[in-house]
Copies of this chain bind each other. A is one copy, B any other.
């Protein structure tokens, strides 16, 4: 490995000052304003000549009154209190926090895309329809599916959409099915979506290898099973090697297989859910396709399906009709799942990412994501053993059980201490089936030097666990705030400035 400094460590140090940032309300002085509007030249009218008086609010809603300079200062300072991929490695398992190309941001900023009204007739938005139709085609090619909807705004919305498609499919065949199976390792959105889809959850336990227990699954199957939700690789980062057998078993009872695509990064361009036997696939474009996560969104969660489900997809869809595009609803569409056409600018970003990579580039993405995770797993084996000691896919779940029992240092302490070293923490305490879980997903865009620096930082933390465990309970220190009292926040909810008693 080349001797170079790691590019992914946020080793930036204090800029200056030592105080918390006031809220915009604390900065506000009534009478100030930053807003500037067009001069319309329209004759002013009194509000009460336009709107019946009893509708008018006698008191203005107070927002925050700031000069532009202070608004800029406030928000810029807030950004200096925020970690991000652009500042350093973000190995948050299950979240695929890879580098988000600035190119895709530039694409989304083009007024030719961003200034188009969603309700304009198709004849005035042919570019958008072409873009969406192309993306649909690319996503189908990548998943081995026949058709897709781009409407769902995030992964969980995709899940629920997929379950409604499952329901529509069975109902169309006159079948009443009531249960959906999910493994105990599943992400929390899966069971929640199942409930909202009107199904009961049947949980199957994982076996000692961290995989679906095929016997337990077979035992749980029956004619009342609508389907199964899986992610493959699963949430412990392992590939369900018996996926063909699982698919056959579920299909045998007439059930459908749903693929939670949050982990698609491990296999994109290398393995297709369709080829594994899945019928419905959602993708988190904000993970695999690097659309930035925005501090918690927006994302996009398109759902692709095999041909037997295509007619049920939400609509309308951008559809090529001879030499142009039209909005067409699938014949038995379940209806809309979004107010308009989905998170369009996120979709545009994802298509740009896909086109730059192509088939070859996306396969390299998966290969290097898996390489990085395995390297890290092996590198850390001596100090933080993997929950399942086998080659992993794009992420690895390690366990701090030994640290906890020996030194009283928990996964959370390790995570907090890692932030002092310039890295974001891994995901902790997920999946629930692993004790003291630390789930690392380095992603393919971190360099070997960054991985080594991350591993060294963890080594030094584990060393500190034996020497000075108290320092880990006190971590982090070099962050804008020290460890935060989460219990207090829940006990006395202060969710707005107005509730704050000061």
Task: Give the B-binding residues of A (Cβ under 8 A).
Answer: 2, 4-22, 26-30, 32, 36, 66-74, 76-77, 80-84, 86-88, 99, 101-102, 356, 419-422, 445-447, 449-450, 476, 478-480
Contacts and interface: CB of A to CB of B under 8 A. Distances in A.
13 contacts: A2-B29, A4-B28, A10-B77, A11-B19, A13-B18, A14-B478, A14-B480, A15-B83, A16-B479, A17-B478, A68-B99, A72-B86, A80-B80
A26 B14 contact: no
B26 A17 contact: no
Nearest to A8: B73
A15 B12 contact: yes
Contact of A17 (B10, B32, B73, B84): B10
Contacts of A27: 4-7, 449
B422 A16 contact: yes
Nearest to A28: B4
A90 to B, nearest CB: 11
Nearest to A424: B16
B26 A67 contact: no
With a 10 A CB-CB cut-off, give which of A11, A13, A22, A446 has the most chain B CB atoms.
A13
A84 to B, nearest CB: 8
Contacts of A82: 15
Nearest to A70: B7
Q: What 5 pairs between A and B have smallest CB-CB spacing?
A: A7-B70, A17-B422, A5-B22, A14-B14, A11-B19
Contact of A419 (B16, B102, B356, B476): B16
Contact of A18 (B11, B28, B32): B11
Contacts of A11: 17-21, 77
Contacts of A29: 2, 4, 447, 449
Nearest to A32: B447
B102 A73 contact: no
Interface SS of chain A: loop
A16 B77 contact: no
Contacts of A26: 4-5
A17 B7 contact: no
Nearest to A448: B29
Given A4-B27, A421-B17, A446 B10 contact: no
Contacts of A69: 7-8, 99, 445-447
A339 B481 CA distance: 51
Given A72-B86, A86-B72, A87-B73, A12 B8 contact: no
A18 B476 CA distance: 12
Contact of A73 (B7, B22, B478): B7
Nearest to A75: B86
Contacts of A30: 2
Given A17-B420, A27-B4, A420-B17, A12 B80 contact: yes
A447 B70 contact: yes
A88 B73 contact: yes
A204 B194 CA distance: 86
A339 to B, nearest CB: 29
A271 to B, nearest CB: 25
A389 to B, nearest CB: 30
B13 A9 contact: no
A480 B16 CA distance: 7
B72 A76 contact: no
Contacts of A422: 16-19
A80 B478 contact: no
A83 B16 contact: yes
A478 B14 CA distance: 6
Given A13-B14, A18-B420, A68-B99, 15 more contacts: A5-B26, A7-B67, A8-B73, A9-B17, A14-B478, A15-B80, A16-B419, A16-B478, A17-B421, A17-B422, A18-B422, A18-B478, A19-B422, A29-B449, A73-B86
Contacts of A16: 10, 12, 83, 419-420, 422, 476, 478-479
A412 to B, nearest CB: 17
A268 to B, nearest CB: 18
A290 to B, nearest CB: 11
Nearest to A23: B5
Contacts of A447: 29, 32, 67, 69-70
